[in-house]
Amino acid sequence: MPTPPAAFDKDEVVVKNRLRPKDAATLVLVKREKAGPRVLMGQRHGNMAFMAGKYVFPGGRVDPGDQRILLGGDLRPHVVERLTKGANVQRARGFALAAIRETFEEAGILIGERADKLPRTRAPAWKKFFEHGVAPRLDTLEFIARAITPPNRTRRFDARFFMADADSIAHTLDARENDELLTPAWLTFAEARALDLPSITRAVLDEVEARIGDGADGSRPVPFFRFHRGESQMEFL
């Protein structure tokens, strides 16, 4: 298991205001190859206020429209059980859908399956997603970690981290850069660890590697990283 001291960077910019954490979600895509697994990562632009220039997994804030997407499939029971510790079912589904949407927006990758009937939505980002004839599948996602950014940071998030196999990719758009993430790439664990990673990303990377080694059957507890009384703590969900 990753250790609490490695979960947060000590050199992040500190501000006086105590911001309320915003819900966020991240997706770790794993491509299993004979030579070893690879994960999808990209570099954040250097002019960003939060984690500038760092290498991260696709992810971002939960949008209101994420909770309103109606699907035929759903999260697996053990995932729902852990996600709903501190959230209702609709909000839990919103986390997973946000992770899928952010991966589409930042990496041009659509997680799901081809479908003739697609959910109706007014959310612009989801309209663009559905233009490609793909319906998201929540049962392909495993909930693997939760982390709340420490107080007194320029941005604070209550982030849920998910993991999915590259086999769940239904469609990939042409590689391109966007406003947040430079061109993503599939990296080995060694290649990823050699990059400039936020401490929480490094901790989640360790968790992903451990889950691959365990077989990821859903029984592994989910680490929850947060600050309490000035100290980094790790609990399990």
The band of 18, judged by pLDDT with boundaries at 50, 70 and 90, is confident
CA atoms within 13 A on the CB side of 103: 33
| pLDDT over 60 (residue 13) | no
Q: Is the dihedral of CA 104, 105, 107, 108 positive or negative?
A: positive
Report which of 176, 203, 201, 196 is spatially closest to residue 46, judged by C-alpha positions: 196
Is the pLDDT at 124 greater than 80? The verdict is yes
> Percent of the chain beyond pLDDT 70?
85
**Burial of 194 (C-beta count, 10 Å sphere; 0-12/13-18/19+):** exposed
**Lowest mean per-residue pLDDT among 44-48, 81-85, 173-177:** 44-48
Q: Which domains does the chain have, with CATH numbers?
A: 4-236 (3.90.79.10)
Distance from C-alpha of 104 to C-alpha of 144, rounded to nearest angstrom: 20
User: What is the pairing mode between strands 231-236 and 223-228?
Assistant: antiparallel
Distance, in Å, from the CA atom of 206 to the CA atom of 48, rounded to the nearest integer, reads 26
Q: Per the structure block, which two tokens stand in for 167? A: 């086999």
pLDDT, position 50: 52
128-157 confidence digits (pLDDT tens): 999 999 999 999 999 999 999 988 778 899
Would you give the DSSP letter of residue 204?
H
pLDDT one-digit tens code per residue, 154-203: 889 999 999 999 999 999 997 665 556 787 899 999 999 999 999 999 99
Which pLDDT does position 3 carry in this prediction? 45
pLDDT tens readout for residues 53-79:
789 999 999 999 999 998 766 899 999
Considering the entire predicted model, what is its pTM? 0.89
- What's the mean per-residue pLDDT of the chain? 87
